[in-house]
Structure 1
Amino acid sequence: MRLFLASYRFGKHADRLAALVGAPGRVAVIPNACDAWPAAWSSAVTSDLVPLRKLGYAPEVLDLREYVGRAADLERRLAEFPLLWVRGGNTFVLRAQFARSGADLALARLLAADALVYAGYSAGACLLTPDLHGLESMDDPREVPPTCGVEPRWDGLNLVERRIIPHIDSPTDPDGFGNRLAADYRAAGIPHWALTDDEVVVVDGDRVELLR
């Protein structure tokens, strides 16, 4: 299993993503964490396509909403790409869209077969953790029913062993929600990674690294 989990895009470690993937090539960009914000959806997508292209990748948008009820088609489509790029937004909305489309089960199978690399930042990183409890202080679960037509889920994909808190000491979190959540996790003894926007967690087979 190969994972690149960041607080914000590549952090300071775009080279490590390239090392995981090999030569830059096609990448499926999954923007569904932004589904609750239709007015900002296109600009959010563009904001990820541009930096990926600058690094030599060939990004293609893959909208999970188009695959609801078509899980087998989605798994075949995901398997075409050496890299998935899952951007930030609302973690609860992203979790719901992964479940509705069957991407959660497909991704687990593809990663177990080492068929692709998963790169996610912010919500895209938090999605892979054991559960989402505490993230409601940063993301609003109430956006899930009107956006996805289902109730929010509190389980993550459980592909890494710790929770992730993004945007520590970051201007993208001016109210300090991430710092307070990290303090709560520490007080409760909950294993977690609290990531600044420079930091990345890399999983490569059995090896797990926190890159600062």
Structure 2
Amino acid sequence: MKFYLSSFKIGNEERKLIELTENGNKKVAYINNALDFATDLERKNKSDVADVSELQRIGFTVDVLDLKMYFNNHEGLKEKLDQYDVIWVRGGNTFVLAQAMRLSGLDEIIKKYYREKRDILYGGYSAGGCILGPTLKGIHLVDEPEQKPYGNEHQAIWEGLCILDYVIAPHYKSDHKESNDMDRAIEFMIENKILFKALRDGEVIIIE
């Protein structure tokens, strides 16, 4: 399993992203559930269209995959994902993404792919990278933990997928509305001895 983890959008390693997927069918499952809390649907849709267009521009075939369609149908999601070379998880609220992953079973599917060294690329940006760490503590100073678009009966999830042993801190010192909040998050992680890697917008972590 390979990882392409950007601070924002595709980032500055576009050529490397193409190389990482050159032997596959270029099919991308685009997951946008980190924005399920959004109330401005027109703005959300424009953002999704821009993301999809960017991936298509570099040669990918993109399907939008709504995890809500697979809540309580984990096997159905696993069968669907077997058709793709790339899982691309966009940014938004990391806590909302954690809920969607758990309810659909995507969290365990990704962990299984990782354990089995599956020939698939996990890519994405912002929340899509943050979710892979050991904890969401620190990220709570940027993303609201109590956003619950799937019902108040679901408790906030504070654990990441533990695939990385550090937290990705995106938008560091960047021209992004969350940059100042990320400074506070990094201070929290330093004080609480949480390992992290700060990324400026444009920067990408690549794991092959």
TM-score relative to the length of structure 2: 0.91
Deviation at 1:189, TM superposition (A): 3.1
| DSSP-derived class of the 1:81 partner | coil
Equivalence for 1:183: 187
Counting only pairs closer than 5 Å after superposition, residues 89-128 of structure 1 correspond to structure 2 as 89-113=92-116, 114-128=118-132
Partner amino acid for 2:145? P
Query: How many residues get paired?
Result: 202
What one-letter code is carried by the residue in structure 2 that aligns with 1:8? F
Q: Which residue of 2 aligns with 1:69?
A: 72
> Which residue is 2:203 aligned to?
199
The runs of 5 or more residues in structure 1 that have no matched partner are: 205-212
For residue 129 of structure 1, give the secondary structure of its aligned residue in structure 2.
coil
**What TM-score does the superposition give when structure 1 sets the normalisation length?**
0.90
Distance in 1, Cα, partners of 2:189 & 2:33: 27
| In structure 1, distance between residues paired with 2:124 and 2:17 | 11
Task: Describe the shift of the 1:141–1:187 C-alpha distance in structure 2 as closer, same or farther (beyond 3 A).
Answer: closer
Cα deviation per residue 1:157-212 (whole Å; 9 max; x = unaligned)? 111110111101112136611122223323433211010012111111xxxxxxxx
- Give the whole-Å Cα distance in 2 for the aligned partners of 1:188 and 1:110: 31
Distance in 1 (CA, whole Å) between partners of 2:37 and 2:185 is 23
- d(CA) in 2 for partners of 1:83 and 1:133? 28
Cα distance in 2, alignment partners of residues 12 and 123 from structure 1: 18
Q: Deviations over 1:123-159 (max 9, x none)?
A: 0000111010011111111212xx0221210000111
> RMSD value over aligned CA atoms?
1.5
Contact 1:122/1:166 (CA < 8 Å) preserved in 2? Answer: yes
Q: Alignment identity in percent?
A: 31
2:14 matches 1:11: no
